[in-house]
A = this chain, B = another copy of it.
């Protein structure tokens, strides 16, 4: 994804959130969207992306729909019903994660005194 190890473990959540927002997307589109949103800071590699998509499909999180555009094949992915539910959990976990990390790096002043 980039040099920072921190993104490890966040790819599925990112994909699910983008699909929740955009209905359906294809792999290459996801990489470009993420690059655009993060202003080039986060580049998802194909070696990480495609296995992740395949796994989520196998798990019943995603559905696939093939489409031929400009003589090139596209595989559109969208969330299944179970995937939509799981996305809610993932986003909630992400909020907790961010909150916990912020607590760790910028501890609140002790309000008891």
Contact = CB atoms under 8 A, between A and B. Distances in A.
A38 B102 CA distance: 10
Contacts of A100: 37-38, 41-42
The secondary structure that dominates the A interface is: helix
A103 B34 CA distance: 10
Nearest to A18: B104
Interface of A: 4-10, 12-14, 17-18, 21, 34, 37-38, 41-42, 91, 93-94, 96-98, 100-105, 107
26 contacts: A4-B9, A4-B93, A4-B96, A5-B10, A5-B12, A6-B13, A6-B94, A7-B9, A7-B97, A8-B8, A10-B101, A13-B105, A14-B101, A14-B104, A17-B105, A18-B104, A21-B107, A34-B104, A37-B100, A37-B104, A38-B100, A42-B100, A91-B105, A94-B101, A94-B105, A98-B102
